[in-house]
């Protein structure tokens, strides 16, 4: 496939890890672990299709309402991955920058340190970027911008879209061309409302750990056949 019509910025909502684990009668820990490994592959598949800016929703603000055991399990896995030398080596090999997007104060200190260490270690790369949304919520993102504007912008007449974008927690992420959500759920659940105004949406029935490169190709083919209108 020619990549001329492929998205430049792609977002992923990797839903269905827990359901996949129950379906295959394995632990939640193993299900999430496989889901994280699948994303590492997914990011490299995207690179092969010339997609160099990826945003993945790893943990929303609403996810904190889940039971403490599950939250600790997932945070423990994220910390393990952030310190995994082979994975870090793959980021360097692919010249990929890693960024954390979200309210970092919500994260356990040890996880926050590990993620920020990975950010610093890869910050020299400019071409490929993986944005990890963790402790992120769409309404909180906009609320953060409103509070920051109220504090820093005195001339309300000067407030425009550019200023609002500047004060978003997610201000480093450009408008999203394509959002892929797995597991059959057909909603965005507050995922980057500012950047997804005219995003193309693709919903896969596959539970995330079962998602394949063939499924990604199907999503990209579907996207390339669409005519984006942007309200025109």
Q: Is 95 helix (H, G, I), strand (E, B) or coil?
A: coil
- Is 63 catalytic? The answer is yes
CA distances from 204 to 68, 69, 179 (A): 29, 28, 11
In the set 3, 5, 53, 63, the catalytic residue is: 63
Q: Is 186 helix (H, G, I), strand (E, B) or coil?
A: coil
Counted residue by residue, the chain has a size of: 232
- Is 131 catalytic? The answer is no
Contacts of 185 (CB under 8 A, 6+ apart): 15, 203
Cβ(36)–Cβ(87) below 8 Å:
no
In the set 15, 33, 141, 177, the catalytic residue is: 15
Can you say whether the dihedral through the CA atoms of 98, 103, 107, 110 is positive or negative? positive
Cβ-count burial of 147 within 10 angstroms (0-12 exposed, 13-18 middle, 19+ buried)? exposed
CA distance 186 to 62: 18
Active site residues: 15, 63
């Amino acid at each position: 496939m020619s990549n001329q019509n492929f998205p430049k910025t792609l977002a992923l909502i990797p839903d269905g890890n827990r359901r996949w684990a129950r379906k295959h009668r394995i632990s939640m820990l193993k299900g999430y672990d496989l889901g994280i490994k699948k994303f590492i592959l997914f990011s490299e598949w995207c690179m092969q299709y010339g997609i160099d800016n990826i945003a993945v929703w790893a943990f929303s603000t609403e996810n904190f309402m889940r039971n403490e055991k599950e939250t600790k399990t997932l945070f423990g896995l994220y910390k393990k991955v952030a310190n995994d030398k082979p994975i870090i080596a793959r980021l360097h090999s692919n010249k990929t920058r890693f960024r954390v997007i979200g309210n970092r104060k919500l994260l356990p200190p040890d996880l926050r340190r590990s993620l920020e260490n990975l950010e610093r270690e890869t910050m020299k790369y400019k071409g490929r970027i993986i944005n990890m949304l963790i402790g992120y919520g769409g309404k909180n993102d906009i609320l953060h911008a409103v509070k920051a504007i109220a504090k820093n912008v005195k001339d309300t007449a000067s407030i425009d879209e550019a200023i609002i974008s500047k004060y978003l927690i997610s201000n480093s992420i450009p408008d999203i061309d394509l959002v892929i959500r797995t597991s059959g759920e057909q909603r965005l659940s507050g995922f980057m409302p500012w950047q997804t105004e005219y995003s193309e949406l693709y919903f896969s029935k596959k539970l995330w750990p079962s998602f394949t490169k063939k499924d990604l190709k199907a999503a990209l083919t579907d996207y390339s056949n669409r005519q984006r209108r942007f309200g025109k």
